[in-house]
Amino acid sequence: MSDMQDTMLLGLEGIKKTILHGGTGVIPKLITGTKVTFHFRTQLCDDDRTVIDDSKVVGTPMEVVVGNMFKLDIWETLLSSMRIGEVAEFWCDTIHTGVYPLVAKSMRRIAEGKDPVDWHIHTCGMANMFAYNSLGYDDLDELMKEPKPLFFVLELLRVQQPSEYNRETWALSDEERLKAVPVLHGQGNKFYKQGNLQEATQKYKEAIICIKNVQTKEKAWEVPWLKLEKMANTLTLNYCQCLMRMEEYYEVIEHTSDIINQHPGAVKAFFLRGKAHVEVWNEAEARHDFSRVLDLNPGMKKAVKKELAVLNMRMEEKNQEDKDKYKGMF
């Protein structure tokens, strides 16, 4: 079969396929839930064929699950024309490559061991709406501003049908994601009770990422969005409880402040932030947070009283330490 015929098979405007190395067997069927493992290289259509991303350099092949939003739709089309072991080069016009920078950002973050969604980046709502959002990578920012045709060189390694593998959280549909949330929440709580904080934070984080993924498709501040926001905040506070026990006080202050900035009535966030301030001797901030707690919920008087006693003890210890430190100086 000639390359030209192969090109026609894709039947799509703006794609040209060239087989560089033939594969074996029949072309596998890709149905919803099929997991496809492949290597990819993305290149600009310039004289140097500048490489933008290369999974072989990263060292791990790409895995996508068919029918799932975590990817470029066009890759599904390209891969569905390939045999196992085949290496092919696809030229794709801008209509197919516009979202590539966003996908590439997620892939790069994963390769760097970060969450694909940076849900804890500091954002002040209004300012953020008007700022041009950088993706954090100069070459991807360029492509985002001015989409270009790209070459994708793909090597199809493996195709697994849904029954043949264990699906990970990011490979879920929105419906499945939301079902996964209470399960992850429960697992997180169990690990927390056992004192296994590393595992607990992992589960809470996964649950938050599931929620944030679904939330991006809702209209901000409308009812469905707010419901998800409430779930995410609850989990973030659980996550902060873990961080408190791990003595990551500044990170607790960061996350609780994010919640408070968006939701000024978040009692639990004020309470936790107050506790974190106590641990790092921010006396004025701690007192402010605890007085906000009492304004918002006078029923927490007993709990606050206890925390203020801890604060007084902390400050006395610190004053004593400072005195001892300076005693030797004079």
What is the predicted pLDDT for the residue at 133? Answer: 62
Weakest mean pLDDT among 57-61, 132-136, 307-311: 132-136
- Check: pTM over 0.75? Answer yes or no: no
- Residue 165, exposed/middle/buried by CB under 10 A (0-12, 13-18, 19+)? middle
| Both tokens assigned to 268 | 């639990």
**Which pair of tokens denotes residue 253?**
């202050």
Element (H, E) at 255: helix 249-262
Mean pLDDT of the chain: 85
Closest CA to 36 of 61, 58, 11, 60: 61
CATH T-level fold of 3-164: Chitinase A; domain 3 (3.10.50)
CATH, domain 247-319, list 1.10.287.610, 1.25.40.10, 3.30.930.10, 1.10.10.10: 1.25.40.10
Place of tokens 């496809």: 36
* Three-state SS at 194: helix
Determine the pLDDT at residue 120. 43
Instruction: Delimit the CATH 3.10.50.40 region(s) of the chain.
Output: 3-164
Torsion from C-alpha of 130, 136, 138, 141, nearest 10 degrees = -40
Question: Binning pLDDT at 50, 70 and 90, where does residue 242 land?
Answer: very high
Q: How far is the C-alpha of 14 from the C-alpha of 227, rounded, in Å?
A: 41
**Residues 200, 192 contacting (CB under 8 angstroms):** yes
Question: Considering only 91-105, 110-124, 188-202, which range has the smallest mean pLDDT?
Answer: 110-124
Strand pairing category for 51-54 and 62-65: unpaired
CATH 1.25.40.10 domain extents, the chain: 247-319
Among 44-58, 70-84, 153-167, top mean pLDDT goes to: 44-58
In sequence order, the 6+-apart residues with CB closer than 8 A to the CB of 307 are 271, 274, 275, 278, 286, 290
C-alpha span between 99 and 330 (Å, rounded): 66
